Amino acid sequence: MGVYNNADYINQSNRLLVAGRELLSNLNDPAKRSQAEKAAEPQATSQFGFEAQKRGGVLTQAGVEPDDGLRAVLFDIQAANVLIATGLATEAAQPNTGQLSQVLDQIEQSQAEMTVPVAAFQFEAGSSVKSTDLETAKKSFREDSHFSLDRFVAEASEVVQSVFDQLKKLEAAKVAQGIGDLGKPFQAAVDVGRLVKKGIEKLLKAVQDLLDLLGGDTLPELKARAEAIWNKLMKGEYVRDAITWSFGLKETESRIEKILTGTTLDLVELDGASNALRPLTESYESKIKLIKALKGAIVLIAGGLAYFHVAVPWLPLALAGAYAALVGATVLIGMNYCGAGGPLQWVKGVREIADGLSPAA
């Protein structure tokens, strides 16, 4: 498994952005078109494979970060966007350059967001807990764990609501089928132009790479969680309620309260647990930022491919699957960070941090 850190993403996406801007100014220049197509392929030294993800989302290779994989998927989806938009601008019967302009703007926005330092939500920068007595230490952990859990739910709810708004534009039957077909290959696109076809293929591969990053064993639960959320929202349930249920928030907060009433707690260990919540929330925020960027890129692809909706009737299924993969990924990641179990084992979540305070846990 290779490395695709933030600098890799910025460098690769900048090449894509520059090539795309030059093409936009010289649409009739075959050389510029070729440069944009070449920039859509990651450099060999930065390609990211997911073959190591075989055991239910357990990272099996030292030094590999999930953020690296999410950035690689983001680049590929943005590259797919450039290819599709380039095809619309140069191969379509009625050329459309507006899509390419929007795609390049979105890449630029993502670059800016990726360079903003991650803050642990609203924890004071550089802060740490050092309590004077046991009761104060308990109060700090109770408040900080509640705050972390609440922010995990709020951020995930924002993502899921925005994806749900997009899914509602598709037929409900297509969404259900798209969720069920996750992980299955789609037939190759036909009669849509070479660049558009290449972009669609890259999109489908990127979605599969996202599933592989989460781990081959996670797919059944990912699909089940995406389907459960979709059904709850279609019945009119609030997004936050559905996410709270998925993340097991009530059970976790009840567990924390039970632990804090114990008689064997240690002040230093309590403060250590509180301080562990800060890097945990920073780690979560970096992932949710990437998930939001993925969603934005997929929305643009949906807009571009709407032109071919009639010619390629299976496209709604592919888009529904892409959105469902984002919902499933958001839920599984949130479950892990809350400590609600699930197949992902990327981090020690809030509930697990709390359990570490109790010998009888």
Query: pLDDT-derived band of residue 342, with 50, 70 and 90 as boundaries?
Result: confident
Answer yes or no: is pLDDT of 320 > 80: yes
pLDDT tens-place string over residues 168-217: 988 889 899 989 988 887 765 567 788 988 998 899 999 999 999 998 88
∠ CA 5-342-273, rounded to 5°: 70
Answer yes or no: is pLDDT of 301 > 50: yes
Alpha helices in the chain, H assignment, sequence order: 6-25, 30-39, 66-90, 98-114, 134-167, 172-180, 194-214, 219-234, 239-246, 249-260, 267-305, 315-338, 350-355
Answer yes or no: is pLDDT of 280 > 70: yes
pLDDT tens-place string over residues 11-26: 999 999 999 999 999 9
Render 284-348 in DSSP notation, one character per residue.
HHHHHHHHHHHHHHHHHHHHHHGGGTTT-TTHHHHHHHHHHHHHHHHHHHHHHHHT---S--SS-
What mean pLDDT comes out for the span 23-50?
Answer: 78
Answer yes or no: is pLDDT of 311 > 60: no
Q: What is the rounded distance in angstroms from the CA atom of residue 157 to the CA atom of residue 292?
A: 11
Average pLDDT, the chain: 85
pTM score over 0.95 = no
- Residue 333: its pLDDT value, please? 96
Q: What is the rounded distance in angstroms from the CA atom of residue 17 to the CA atom of residue 346?
A: 32
Name the DSSP class of 192. Answer: S
- Residue 45: its pLDDT value, please? 43
What mean pLDDT comes out for the span 284-312?
Answer: 86
Answer yes or no: is pLDDT of 239 > 90: yes
Query: pLDDT-derived band of residue 361, with 50, 70 and 90 as boundaries?
Result: very low
pLDDT tens-place string over residues 71-105: 999 999 999 999 999 998 888 777 788 999 999 99
Q: Which of 46-50, 140-144, 253-257 has the lowest mean pLDDT?
A: 46-50
Answer yes or no: is pLDDT of 284 > 80: yes
Number of other CB atoms surrounding residue 356 within 10 Å: 15
